[in-house]
């Protein structure tokens, strides 16, 4: 498949670059996990924490369903714990049936074996996180190419404030997010603080579930659903539960809407003494396999199923032709001494 070749070329470059920086260090775990094209065979298991772990026995979200379309297929991040895949399908179906939401555009879930990624997220490593775009699904099937190129739309006002634009963020958006929050297997939902503010102001339904909807940076193009660790995953590290008695519409939201979270980081005070040369690093600055739970090394080494289900196969995505190399003219063969 063509995209796999393209991906491996990128990975080879990334490998070469990182080994040039740190010859003695093991390769980045994200390069190893990103180069796995298929999940492991066997029972599903989330191992480790949302931002430091991996996933065995993943299931793929089919690229198309009656009420969803998966986006950015070239990233190969539509794998998750089977409960995550089932929840996305259920949300897509119920939102279409009850909420006036025509269907989901599904962004990143996890890689076939979870783990850290080359770009984008700190979490999404154990197959229990999923990004859902805030644009409704169009009433036609997007082409594979469009799924790479179409941008998610921000629901914020264009004026640099933190608030949503009511033209872009509608009651149907609110029903969709609150439906996701209503599912007992969902432990948190991340949204932009402006979205949380709109929900706090407007939501007339069951307000207890507002506690699960947590403001965070970003998340005005998509919202992020996080499931609890699932039964059958004894090595899944749970995150603390949210306090369901606090809907988060008070002090927490006020803080997010203040200047404090958005202030630029203060410049570091220059050291008083002349700086010593930094000590030679004893470990790389990136995550390596020994930073992850030991079981993740076994996940990386485990065989794929003898035959992958149809849903796990990603079709070749037609890419535009590569731009020609720029003409740089003749290069002089003699070099000045220096
Ligand atoms: Zn996310």
Look at the chain and report how many structural domains it folds into: 1
Q: What is the separation of C-alpha 270 from the centre of its chain, rounded to a whole number of angstroms?
A: 36
Rounded to the nearest angstrom, the distance between the alpha carbon of 194 and the centre of ligand 1 is 17
Rounded to the nearest angstrom, the distance between the alpha carbon of 119 and the centre of ligand 1 is 12
Q: Does residue 167 belong to any structural domain of this protein?
A: yes
Q: Residue 316: how many CB atoms within 10 A of its CB?
A: 14
Rounded to the nearest angstrom, the distance between the alpha carbon of 68 and the centre of ligand 1 is 17
Q: Does residue 134 belong to any structural domain of this protein?
A: yes
Q: Does residue 251 belong to any structural domain of this protein?
A: yes
Cβ atoms of residues 144 and 318 within 8 Å = yes
Rounded to the nearest angstrom, the distance between the alpha carbon of 130 and the centre of ligand 1 is 6
| Domain coverage including residue 59 | 37-258+287-294
Can you tell me the distance from the alpha carbon of 43 to that of 117, in angstroms, rounded to the nearest whole number?
A: 23
In the chain, the percentage of residues whose pLDDT exceeds 90 is 72
Q: Does pLDDT of 225 surpass 90?
A: yes
Reduce the DSSP state of residue 96 to 3 states and report it: helix
Rounded to the nearest angstrom, the distance between the alpha carbon of 180 and the centre of ligand 1 is 14
Report the mean per-residue pLDDT for the chain.
88
Q: State the DSSP H helix or E strand holding residue 200, giving kind and residue range, or none if neither.
A: helix 193-202
Rounded to the nearest angstrom, the distance between the alpha carbon of 181 and the centre of ligand 1 is 15
Rounded to the nearest angstrom, the distance between the alpha carbon of 124 and the centre of ligand 1 is 7
8, 104, 105, 305 from 218: Cα distances, Å: 30, 19, 18, 37
Rounded to the nearest angstrom, the distance between the alpha carbon of 132 and the centre of ligand 1 is 8
pLDDT band at 192 (very low <50, low <70, confident <90, very high): very high
Can you tell me the distance from the alpha carbon of 37 to that of 76, in angstroms, rounded to the nearest whole number?
A: 8
Q: Does residue 302 belong to any structural domain of this protein?
A: no
What backbone torsions phi and psi does residue 143 show, to the nearest 5 degrees? -75, 165
For residue 216, the model assigns a pLDDT of 94
Rounded to the nearest angstrom, the distance between the alpha carbon of 121 and the centre of ligand 1 is 7
Find the CATH number of the domain harbouring 185: 3.30.1380.10
Q: Does residue 209 belong to any structural domain of this protein?
A: yes
Give residue-wise pLDDT tens across range 233-278. 999 999 999 999 999 999 999 999 999 999 888 777 766 776 778 7
Q: Does residue 332 belong to any structural domain of this protein?
A: no
Rounded to the nearest angstrom, the distance between the alpha carbon of 122 and the centre of ligand 1 is 9
Per-residue pLDDT, averaged over 131-143, amounts to 96
Rounded to the nearest angstrom, the distance between the alpha carbon of 27 and the centre of ligand 1 is 25
Q: Does residue 115 belong to any structural domain of this protein?
A: yes
Q: Tell me if the pTM is above 0.75.
A: yes
Give residue-wise pLDDT tens across range 70-115. 999 999 999 999 999 999 999 999 999 999 999 999 999 999 999 9
Q: Does residue 1 belong to any structural domain of this protein?
A: no
């Amino acid at each position: 498949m063509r995209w796999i070749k393209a991906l491996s070329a990128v990975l080879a470059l990334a490998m070469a670059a990182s080994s040039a920086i740190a010859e003695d260090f093991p390769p980045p775990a994200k390069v190893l996990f990103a180069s796995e094209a298929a999940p492991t065979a066997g029972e599903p298991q989330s191992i480790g924490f949302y931002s430091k772990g991996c996933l065995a026995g993943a299931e793929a979200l089919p690229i198309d369903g009656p009420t969803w379309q998966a986006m950015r297929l070239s990233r190969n991040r539509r794998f998750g714990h089977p409960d995550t895949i089932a929840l996305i399908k259920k949300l897509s179906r119920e939102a279409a049936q009850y909420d006036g939401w025509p269907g989901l555009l599904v962004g990143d879930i996890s890689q076939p074996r979870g783990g850290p990624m080359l770009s984008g997220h700190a979490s999404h490593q154990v197959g229990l996180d999923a990004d859902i775009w805030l644009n409704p699904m169009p009433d036609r099937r997007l082409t594979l190419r469009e799924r790479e190129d179409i941008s998610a739309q921000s629901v914020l006002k264009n004026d640099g404030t933190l608030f949503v634009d009511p033209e872009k963020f509608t009651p149907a958006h609110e029903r969709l997010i609150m439906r996701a929050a209503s599912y007992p297997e969902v432990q948190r939902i991340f949204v932009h603080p402006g979205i949380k503010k709109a929900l706090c102001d407007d939501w007339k339904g069951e307000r207890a579930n507002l506690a699960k909807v947590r403001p965070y940076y970003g998340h005005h193009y998509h919202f992020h659903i996080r499931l609890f660790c699932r039964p059958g995953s004894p090595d899944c590290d749970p995150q603390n539960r949210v306090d369901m008695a606090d809907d988060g519409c008070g002090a927490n939201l006020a803080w997010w809407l203040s200047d404090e979270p958005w202030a630029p980081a203060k410049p570091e005070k220059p050291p008083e003494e002349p700086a010593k040369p930094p000590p030679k690093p004893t470990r790389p600055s990136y995550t390596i396999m020994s930073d992850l739970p030991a079981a993740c090394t076994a996940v990386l080494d485990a065989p794929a199923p003898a035959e992958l289900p149809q849903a796990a196969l990603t079709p070749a995505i037609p890419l535009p032709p590569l731009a020609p190399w720029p003409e740089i003219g003749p290069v002089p063969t003699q070099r000045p001494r220096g």
